[in-house]
């Protein structure tokens, strides 16, 4: 009896521990609520594997319980020897074929989805023509992410804006060590490497929302703090956001006097590491739309107090190991406060993470982000064409004129020869 009680206690403790551990983690970092094509594929594979494992578990437990009940000692006696099945070809074939079939059921869709997730060829529209692809160059750094929208003159960091219902393609690399890009709600993981090779993947959000991402490759002291966000808004809102971001030059003057002072201080002390607008990426994050962010450094609550603390301490304790700790500036509390006011005023677009939660859907084909040949170029081309046509007409006229001259010369020669003949006669 004591043995059964001790076993029951052990099972109870382990069950309770498992129940508690299943509740650990952050609810917004979950693969169980897929909101994109990639995450849906992974979710389907996970469900399929669970179903197969449950099937095997149930079958094994049924056989186990049957044997325990049928061949219990009280029923068959202590010296009972069950029939031996060693060498039974039917049974050996059965328990060999069944696992192979189960593995094939799991392997076929796994291979299909592996190739589908690696496919970054442009989508086609209803007419079969290739759509213009949105490519974003993603760079992993210590300990943040940088995003450059190819052919759009847009640079940003930490918060990646994408349109819903359209694939966005990522070209990924690293500036320092190996990182891993993961947005569990809309896509799988992809390593980014510093060795020069580039990995590619796509994001496809099926609905609007702010989706949290993580670095899943140990990269240093603040690996667990290397968070970022993907802000999925409707196509029309993304188009407006992109146009607003393209108009940022970094020279826009903020409204308040303290922010204006902070702008000058920022230019004197911070622009060697940070950038505003589509300027080339530097040592630190691009801060073009810093005023629209929901977190400081990806993980810290967004407010002026925390921002001032970050600038003052250079993030030494808030994000250990970050490269800002070597920044050479030495600023007073008042100057730091002015810089914080300036950074929090950087909001070039009305499209913010709040738009991803408002339920308003604006449709668009995003054609304005992919301009075709300009009208001036087409007019110049038509003028060049007309000029070439005129030139060809003139050349043909000159050729006809030369032919007429040659005919007149032949006529005059014939006349002169006739006259000579008449004179001779």
Domain ranges of the chain: 26-79+86-117, 131-370
The alpha carbon of residue 379 and the mean position of all alpha carbons in its chain are separated, in whole angstroms, by 38
pLDDT in tens, the chain (425 residues): 566 677 778 888 888 887 777 666 666 788 889 999 999 999 999 999 999 999 999 999 999 999 888 878 777 777 777 777 777 888 889 889 999 999 999 999 999 999 999 999 988 877 777 888 999 999 999 999 999 999 999 999 999 999 999 999 999 999 999 999 999 999 999 999 998 889 999 999 999 999 999 999 999 999 999 999 999 999 999 999 999 999 898 889 999 999 999 999 999 999 889 999 887 767 899 999 999 999 999 999 999 999 999 999 999 999 999 999 989 999 999 999 999 999 999 999 999 999 999 999 999 999 999 877 444 444 444 454 444 444 444 444 444 444 444 444 444 444 444 443 333 33
pLDDT of residue 3: 65
pLDDT of residue 411: 43
d(CA 213, CA 333): 33
pLDDT of residue 376: 45
pLDDT of residue 118: 92
| CATH class label, 131-370 | mainly beta
pLDDT of residue 27: 67
Smallest CA-to-CA distance from 161 within 227, 240, 273, 251 is with 240
The alpha carbon of residue 246 and the mean position of all alpha carbons in its chain are separated, in whole angstroms, by 19
For domain 26-79+86-117, give its CATH number from 1.10.287.90, 3.40.50.970, 3.40.50.20, 3.90.1300.10.
1.10.287.90
Q: What is the 3-state secondary structure (H, E, C) of the chain?
A: CHHHHHHHHHHHHHHHHHHHHCCCCCCCCCCCCCCEHHHHHHHHHHHHHHHHHHHHHHHHHHHHHHHHHHCCHHHHCCCCCCCCCCCCHHHHHHHHHHHHHHHHHHHHHHHHHHHHHCCCCCCECCCCCECCCEEEEEEEECCEEEEEECCCCEEEECEEEEECCCCEEEEEEECCCCEEEECCCCCCEEEECCCCCCEEEEECECCCEEEEEEECCCCCCCHHHCCEEEEEECHHHHHHHHHHHHCCCCCCCCCCHHHHHHHHHHHHHCCCCCECCCCCCCCCCECCCHHHCCEECCCEECCHHHHHHHHHHCCCCCCCCCHHHHCCCCCCHHHHHHHHHHHHCCCCCCCCHHHHCCCCCCCCCCHHHCCCCCHHHHHHHHHHHHHHHHHHHHHHHHHHHHHHHHHHHHHHHHHHHHHHHHHHC
Distant-in-sequence, close-in-space partners of 347: CB < 8 Å, separation ≥ 6: 289, 291, 292
pLDDT of residue 334: 96
Smallest CA-to-CA distance from 144 within 279, 312, 290, 269 is with 290
Edge to edge, the sheet with strand 228-233 lists: 159-163, 228-233, 209-215, 179-182, 189-192
Smallest CA-to-CA distance from 297 within 307, 283, 308 is with 307
pLDDT of residue 69: 85
pLDDT of residue 402: 44
pLDDT of residue 374: 41
d(CA 9, CA 26): 30
* CB of 203 closer than 8 Å to CB of 186: yes
Distant-in-sequence, close-in-space partners of 250: CB < 8 Å, separation ≥ 6: 275, 276, 277, 279, 288
CA dist 9 to 4, 17, 37, 41, 338, Å? 9, 12, 44, 40, 61
pLDDT of residue 403: 44
d(CA 213, CA 182): 5
């Amino acid at each position: 009896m004591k043995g059964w009680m001790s076993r029951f206690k052990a099972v109870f403790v382990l069950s309770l521990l498992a129940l508690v551990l299943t509740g650990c983690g952050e609810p917004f970092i979950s693969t169980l609520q897929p909101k994109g094509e990639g995450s849906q594929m992974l979710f389907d594979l996970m469900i399929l594997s669970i179903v197969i494992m449950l099937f095997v578990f149930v079958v094994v437990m049924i056989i186990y319980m049957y044997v325990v009940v049928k061949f219990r000692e009280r029923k068959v006696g202590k010296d009972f020897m069950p029939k031996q099945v060693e060498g039974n070809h039917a049974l050996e074939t059965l328990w060999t074929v069944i696992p192979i079939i189960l593995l094939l059921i799991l392997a076929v869709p796994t291979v299909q989805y592996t190739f589908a997730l690696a496919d970054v060829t442009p989508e086609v529209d209803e007419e079969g023509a290739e759509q213009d692809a949105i490519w974003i160059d993603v760079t992993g750094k210590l300990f943040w992410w940088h995003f450059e929208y190819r052919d759009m003159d847009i640079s940003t960091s930490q918060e990646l804006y994408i349109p819903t219902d359209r694939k966005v393609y990522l070209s990924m690399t690293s500036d320092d060590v190996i990182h891993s890009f993961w947005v569990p709600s809309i896509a799988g993981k992809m390593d980014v490497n510093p060795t020069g090779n580039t990995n590619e993947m796509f994001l496809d959000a099926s609905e609007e929302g702010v989706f949290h991402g993580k670095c899943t490759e140990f990269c240093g002291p603040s690996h667990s703090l290397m968070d970022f966000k993907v802000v999925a808004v409707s196509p029309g809102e993304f188009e407006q956001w992109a146009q607003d971001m393209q108009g940022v030059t970094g020279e826009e003057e903020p409204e308040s006097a303290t922010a204006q002072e902070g702008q000058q201080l920022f230019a004197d002390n911070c622009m060697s590491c940070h950038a505003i607008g589509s300027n080339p990426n530097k040592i630190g994050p691009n801060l073009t739309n810093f005023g629209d962010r929901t977190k400081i450094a990806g993980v810290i609550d967004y407010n002026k107090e925390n921002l001032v603390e970050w600038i003052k301490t250079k993030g030494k304790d808030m994000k250990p190991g970050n490269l800002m700790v070597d920044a050479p500036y030495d600023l007073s509390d008042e100057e730091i406060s002015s810089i914080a006011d300036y950074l929090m005023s950087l909001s070039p677009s009305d499209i913010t993470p709040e738009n991803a939660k408002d339920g308003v859907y604006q449709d668009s084909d995003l054609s304005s982000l992919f301009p075709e040949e300009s009208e001036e170029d087409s007019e110049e081309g038509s003028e060049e064409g007309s000029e070439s046509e005129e030139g060809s007409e003139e050349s043909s006229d000159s050729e006809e004129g030369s032919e007429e001259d040659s005919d007149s010369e032949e006529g005059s020669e014939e006349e002169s020869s006739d006259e000579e003949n008449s004179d001779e006669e």
